[in-house]
Amino acid sequence: MGVSWYEAKASIVRDAIRTYLAHQSMSLPQLRKSYRDNLTLNEGR
């Protein structure tokens, strides 16, 4: 049998994270303050 879609996706994501951590040539974008505040407000609902 083949590999399940979940295992295939997990492998791709794992490899992407490992590659990024090994070669951090670019920074990940920061959340905008307004978006961050909106997330915080919605957690209380």
Contacts of 3 (CB under 8 A, 6+ apart): 11
Q: What is the pLDDT of residue 9?
A: 94
Q: What is the pLDDT of residue 25?
A: 73
Query: pLDDT digit string (tens) for 1-45?
Result: 688 999 999 999 999 989 888 887 766 666 566 666 666 666 655
Question: 28 is in which domain, residue-wise?
Answer: 5-44
Q: What is the pLDDT of residue 31?
A: 56
How many structural domains compose the chain? 1
Q: What is the pLDDT of residue 23?
A: 83
Torsion of CA 6, 8, 13, 17, to 10 degrees: 130
